Amino acid sequence: MKKLTALIMSLLMMFSLAACNSGETNTSVPSETESAEPESVQTSEPESTPSSEPENETAGGSGSNTLVVYFSMPETTNPDESSMTEEERNSTVIIDGEVLGNTQYVAYVIQENTGADLFRIEPEVPYPTDHDTLVDQAAEEQDNGARPAIKDTIENFDQYDTIFVGYPNWWSDMPMILYTFFDTYDFSGKTIIPFNTNGGSGFSNTISMIAELEPDASIYEDGFTVSRNNVQEAEPDILAWLNELGYSN
């Protein structure tokens, strides 16, 4: 638990921007920002939690050939549930009194159990944390085919053979900043393993879209997807999935 607390405190110092995920509902409102199908409140600590600090929030140069990349859009960093709106609760997991985004939590579990490097996709212009504003912006970006700029870059991208890519389901699609990510890097010859969080829509057609965007990469079609309602208890399922992929810790 002390390691987890150190992880959270380190992350809070590194990131003042709130970011998280979880898009579900058959009307496909953004996952972590999804309101049509409210996410259950998640405030109890899961049976087990990531216990080691992620290797590199800005990956590169470690010698690892595996990378976990994720975009997560929590709508608050305040762990006080009593002051949270329903949408804020839907987009977050509270562990040991600290706030993580839904996709962020899944990414940490994967990173800890694969020894991969870690990279968080963050926009140059921060997304709004007001739910209605964020939902509208996500829809507008999708309508316009926007490519929001990413703040940081991945060093030594060529060293990675396997890349886990995580995102919330927004309007039955990936957030448009994921399209920026796939446009930016050459995935030829690499293996892409998707994972996502959602409000009921699962992956929608995002895995086939990734295959279309990256025709020279190998896409693992049996990715991991979890409802925002179940993220808090998802670690055993994540570990079972990783075991099927050949990762064990």
pTM: predicted TM-score of the whole model, two decimal places: 0.78
Q: For residues 58 and 223, what is the distance between their CA atoms, to the nearest angstrom?
A: 23
What's the pLDDT score for residue 33? 59
Q: Residue 190 above 90 pLDDT?
A: yes
**Token pair belonging to 80:** 């006080």
Q: Residue 53 above 50 pLDDT?
A: no
205-234 residue pLDDT tens: 999 999 999 999 999 999 999 998 888 889
AA letter at 9: M
In sequence order, what are the residues at sequence separation of 6 or more whose Cβ sits closer than 8 angstroms to the Cβ of residue 147? Answer: 176, 177, 179, 180, 183
Number of neighbours of residue 205 by Cβ within 10 angstroms: 13
Residue pointed to by tokens 């994921």:
178
Q: Residue 45 above 90 pLDDT?
A: no
C-alpha closest to that of 192 among 157, 155, 217, 156: 217
What's the pLDDT score for residue 206? 98
CATH fold group of domain 66-245: Rossmann fold (3.40.50)
What's the pLDDT score for residue 73? 83
What's the pLDDT score for residue 23? 37
What's the pLDDT score for residue 249? 60
